[in-house]
Amino acid sequence: MNNKHSEQASYYERWLTPLLQTASTEHPVIVLTGARQVGKSTLLRHAEPFRSWRYHTMDDFDSLRQATEDPQSLWAGTDALVLDEVQKAPKLIAAVKKAVDERQPPMHFVLSGSAHLLLMQQVSESLAGRAVYFILNPMTLGEIHGQPPPVLLTAALAGQWPAEADLAQSLPDTTPLLLRGFLPRLLTLERAEAWPQWWEGYVATYLERDLRQVAQIDALVDFRRLMELLALRTGQLVNQSDLGRDARLSQSTVHRYLNLLETTHLFDRLPAYTASHTTRLLKAPKAFWTDPGLAVFLAGYFDQESLRNSRELGSYFETMIYLHLRVLTSLLIPRARLYFWRTQTGDEPDIVVEHGRRLLAIEIKMTDNPGYRHVDGLRKFLQAHPHATGGLLIHCGATIKRLDEKIVAVPWSALTG
């Protein structure tokens, strides 16, 4: 099989593509960012209309030289262009701005890159009012299996609940999914032993190349140690003082490293939802890795047995659900915001989704027998926020069960299409 056919065979339709296609008709510049290896270049090389646009990547030395010496020559004779890894050629941004403002017929660009910080600094200064921004996340199971996005989240935000049902279906074992991860390249590796090997190369490339594009990190060993400590804290509150003590780093260094992990789309800190001023809440952010497979690898779990017996298994499952919620909320226009909510007495839903004036609480439990005992946090949240549309209990079983007037238990498969 030649490379072109091989690439086509491994291409997965992404749920973000329709938003990119619509944006390409309404805005002169699309900025597409995301972590390395999430599939940005593959999407732009295969999805219409971008597959028919002229394509240049700054990973190509000839294109990089052209972009540096004579950037406008890159789009000579065309009005639609994809510029990939554009953060490597800073002069491109000013040239793109000039082309958008002056060229007739109107020019259309996609600017893509992984080094989010550099890219966004340049774009925000030069292309204000001209660009629209998108983040491509790791893949969902629905995308992997060719399913359309599910309606569960948008329906629940509108207060529309699924009917009770026993789906009588066998859900996939979550352990190998968590061990593998959700980046497209991993899907081509059938042997479970190959997954940690691939992740090792991924982390090494990130530390040795990607970080150099956004910051000068002298002590890569310290940075990796912080990543490993964070991998054991995914789905939990992050205390920078405790993290700094365990990593033997100053708080200012911990803060900088966390910002870099967020900047490069590997890691998120969810803020607390604090609309209620009557309840004493914990304000420390909640940590999530954007791909659970990376967190599992960094934590040192390289096989299914050790992962199944780990005390962090529930947190990695929650991280997988967070990935799916992150993708689904990014499809809403405008994007929904994600928070967490926890009182000082420990009551919590794991995630709070806010979309405009609508509010939805979500509890995640790694159980196949969901019941009323699992929704104390949801009920406390709804008592504190009576205007919320309701709550979802995401679980590992196969039943949709009504647990309260505005609380429904649904299988995690309902998030996968």
| Res. 84: pLDDT tops 70 | yes
Residues 196 and 126 in one domain: no
Residues 236 and 348 in one domain: yes
pLDDT tens per residue across span 344-398: 766 689 999 999 999 999 999 999 999 999 999 999 999 999 999 999 999 999 9
More confident residue, 346 or 133: 133
Alpha helix stretches (DSSP H) within 11-60: 17-26, 40-46
pLDDT of residue 209: 85
pLDDT tens per residue across span 201-255: 999 999 988 887 777 787 899 999 999 999 999 999 999 999 999 999 999 999 9
What is each CA distance from 127 to 119, 318, 371, 396, in whole angstroms? 11, 37, 51, 45
Q: How many CB atoms lie within 10 A of CB 127?
A: 21
> pLDDT band for position 343 (50/70/90)?
confident
Answer yes or no: are the C-beta atoms of 353 and 158 closer than 8 Å. Answer: no
CATH of the domain at 12: 3.40.50.300
- pTM, two decimal places: 0.94
pLDDT of residue 171: 76
Number of domains in the chain: 2
Using CA of residue 144, residue 146, residue 149, residue 152, what is the dihedral sign? negative
Beta-carbon-side half-sphere exposure of residue 251 (alpha carbons within 13 Å)? 5
Boundary residue ending a domain (120, 135, 150): 135
pLDDT tens per residue across span 299-319: 999 999 999 999 999 999 999
Of all residues in the chain, the percent with pLDDT exceeding 70 is 93
Residues 162 and 300 in one domain: yes
pLDDT of residue 5: 38
Average pLDDT of 1-21? Answer: 72
Residues 223 and 372 in one domain: yes
| Res. 277: pLDDT tops 70 | no
Q: Which structural domain, as residue segments, surrounds residue 64?
A: 3-135
Residues 101 and 232 in one domain: no
Answer yes or no: are the C-beta atoms of 354 and 273 closer than 8 Å. Answer: yes
Residues 87 and 208 in one domain: no
Residues 93 and 154 in one domain: no
Residues 118 and 146 in one domain: no
Residues 371 and 318 in one domain: yes
| Res. 70: pLDDT tops 70 | yes
